Structure 1
C-alpha cells in the first residue's frame, strides 16, 4: 500500500497561506497530497480599513477565521489548526511553547514537507 504524502504549512496569520503559497497548496491537494495548515493567530489586529470601521479584535478574529475556513475549503486543505496566539503579540510568546506545539503537531501528523516563512515574513 502506498503511503499518502503530507504537506504542512505553518503561517502567522490567516491569508498568509493564500497570498504566499495558495497555488502550491491547491496543486498538491488536487493531486491527493494531504495538506495541513497551522496558523498562529486569527489576525484580529490586521485591519487596514478606516479606524472608525474597525470591529474590534474579537469580532475581526471571528471574521478572519471564517475567511480562512472558506479559503481552506477552496484550497482543499485536509486540516486547519489555530494556535490561538494574539495577532501582533506572537513575538512575545515563549519560544519553547511555540516550538513545542509545532513539534507535537509534526510528530502526530508526520508530514514529509513543511513550508513556512522566514522571521521577516
Structure 2
C-alpha cells in the first residue's frame, strides 16, 4: 500500500516541469523545442520517482491495526492456562475483605443502606 494517490505523482510532475522550464529559460540561448522537451522529460522522471517516495512515506507512517477485544481475551485465556510465578509467591496471606464478619451482619448493613437511600430519594409522581 502506498501513501496518498496518483494525484501526488501528478503534482510532483507538474512541479518538476515548472522548475525545469524556468531554469532552462535562464540560459543564454533558448530554443523552445529543447526547453519543452527537457521539461516533459523532467516531468516524467519526477513522476516515476514519486512511486518510491510514496512507498517510503507509507513505510514511515505505517501503524498496525489494533487488536480487537475478543483477540485479547483469547490471548489472556491462553496465558492463564500456563502456570505463572508471581514475585510474592512466598506470601500466602488471604486478602478477603469480609473474612471476620458474619453474613448476617453484612446483610443487615446492606438493608440499612438501601433503606436510607429509599428515604432520601425524591418520590416520582
Give me the TM-score of the superposition, normalised by structure 2.
0.25
| Higher RCO, Cα 8 Å, sep 6+ | 1
More strand by share: 1
| Higher alpha-carbon Rg | 2
Normalising to structure 1: TM-score of the pair? 0.26
